[in-house]
Structure 1
């Protein structure tokens, strides 16, 4: 399965457009990551714990996108777009990643 942000796949012909597919992932952080993340807010620097949560959520959303594309018989998903949201309030943070694209058949 090819996932690409471009509108075509180089060297391949798109023979059919199968529709928009999407994958979503909502990842909760825990109290320790929130605590250490708040320390990073004060002292500065990168927060490795949050970065790993975003990476995990992104990978989960892309895996779900690919699964849904395979379910409709696609060979590729073009025009993949990733959207990130941070949900929650002072007590808990949720990270949401949505991946969207167009499922296509290639020839």
Structure 2
């Protein structure tokens, strides 16, 4: 599955638009990560536990978006974007979205 952030795929022609697709997940903080984050807040530095959590969340959101595009018969997604928002205390949603298309 080709995924691009642009509205076109260079060297290809969009022959059919299948529509909007998205994938999302909600991740919560782990108590161990919270303790580490608190300590890092005092001394500075990268919070690797959170970084790993968010990397996995992004992968899952994109995977779910691709599944939705495949179910519509698409072979590419154009205009892909990602957003995050706080859903509740200590929980964040990651959403990946774009337009499912067929390219030649």
Q: Same fold (TM over 0.5)?
A: yes
Moved over 3 A (4+): none
- Paired residues for 1:22-41 under 5 Å: 22-41=22-41
Distance 1:85 1:31, change over 3 A: same
Partner of 2:48: 48
TM-score by length of 2: 0.94
Which 5+ residue runs of structure 2 have no aligned equivalent?
Answer: none
Maintained 8 Å contact 1:57/1:95: no
Partner of 1:104: 101
Which 5+ residue runs of structure 1 have no aligned equivalent?
Answer: none
- RMSD, matched Cα: 1.0
TM-score by length of 1: 0.92
